[in-house]
């Protein structure tokens, strides 16, 4: 049986990168979050089929996650992750793309737009890092994950407002993904305690955020227990061309908990223009 999490492969910024590339048209890059066992496919599996009807959708496993190579001694940092995103674009000969960033991926999306403004069209920030906020118990639990099915189940319960979305099967799949050779070692080295510093390291300053000229759609779940709604409220205040959409009865998984509405919202936002 083929593994749907494994897509195509390309060398990006010197790293053998697993990525999904579906559809035609203006490129949209989907950048996943930082939960244990995450892959681009796990994060975006419900969104790629819809968005790829209108756009060329590219969803890479960021270095340190999924099925992308992790070079020995690799330093996990905002700088290196941004270089990896640009490396994917260069390897696929993409001059400019919209970026959708989820959680950790939101911080990466912002930093990429700030450092390479000519390469980034519109931004969608979902439950995004990228500004300073106080470490939540939820995020501390996510980054401090110790592998067990029980711990994975607890984490998935944290992510979703509607617990019925969290099945034993999903917990087992994500648990197995988190214990593949080298995965937990990599994950444990990425965000060790004290963890407030990693939120801060993914954050851009208010001055930088105010300088962003990209049209930006900010999406957040009202009941998010991982990244607080206050984070997106702040982003909406300081980013000049921002709009904010808050989903009630929604946790940290907007793209999964409100899939259809999320997909339409993002596609409509991109459809407003063709840069």
Known catalytic residue: 211?
A: no
Judged by phi (left if over 0) then psi (alpha if -120 to 50, else beta), residue 126 lies in beta
Q: What DSSP character marks residue 97? A: E
Active-site residue, from 32, 245, 252, 258: 252
Instruction: Give the active site residue among 224, 234, 245, 258.
Output: 224
252 is an active site residue:
yes
Q: Cα–Cα distance between 123 and 270 in angstroms, integer?
A: 9
Choosing from 103, 204, 231, 232, the catalytic residue is: 103
- What is the full DSSP assignment across 235-250? HHHHSTTEEEEEESS-
Residue 32 bears catalytic tag: no
Answer for the pair 79, 13: CB distance below 8 angstroms, yes or no: no
- Contacts for 83-86 with beta carbons within 8 Å, 24 or more apart? 83/13, 84/12, 84/13, 84/15, 84/17, 84/60, 85/29, 85/31, 85/60, 85/112, 86/13, 86/112, 86/116, 86/119
For the chain, how far is it from start to end, CA to CA, in angstroms? 40
With 0-12 / 13-18 / 19 or more C-beta atoms within 10 angstroms meaning exposed / middle / buried, residue 25 is middle
The residues facing 31 across adjacent strands are 101
What are the residue numbers of the active site?
103, 224, 252
């Amino acid at each position: 049986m083929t593994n749907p999490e494994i897509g195509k492969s390309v060398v990006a910024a010197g790293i053998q990168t697993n990525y999904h590339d579906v559809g035609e048209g203006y490129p949209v890059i989907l950048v996943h979050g930082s939960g244990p066992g995450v892959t681009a496919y796990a994060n975006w599996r419900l969104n790629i089929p819809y968005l790829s009807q209108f756009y060329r959708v590219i969803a890479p496993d960021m270095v340190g996650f999924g099925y992308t190579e992790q070079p020995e001694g690799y330093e996990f940092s905002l700088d290196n992750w941004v270089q990896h995103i640009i490396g994917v674009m260069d390897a696929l000969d993409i001059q400019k793309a919209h970026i959708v960033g989820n959680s950790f991926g939101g911080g990466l999306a912002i930093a990429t737009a700030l450092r390479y403004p000519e390469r980034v069209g519109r931004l969608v920030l979902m439950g995004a890092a990228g500004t300073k906020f106080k470490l939540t118990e939820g995020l501390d639990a996510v980054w401090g994950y110790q592998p067990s099915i029980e711990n994975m189940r607890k984490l998935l319960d944290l992510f979703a407002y509607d617990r019925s979305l969290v099945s034993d099967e999903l917990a087992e799949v994500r648990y197995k993904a988190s214990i593949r050779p080298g995965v937990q070692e990599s994950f444990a080295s990425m965000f060790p305690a004290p963890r407030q510093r990693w939120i801060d390291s993914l954050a851009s300053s208010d001055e930088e955020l105010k300088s962003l000229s990209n049209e930006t759609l900010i999406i957040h779940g009202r009941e998010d227990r991982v990244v607080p709604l206050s984070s997106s409220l702040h982003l909406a205040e300081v980013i000049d061309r921002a709009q904010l959409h808050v989903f009630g009865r929604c946790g940290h998984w907007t793209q999964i908990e409100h899939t259809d509405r999320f997909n339409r919202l993002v596609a409509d936002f991109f459809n407003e223009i063709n840069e």
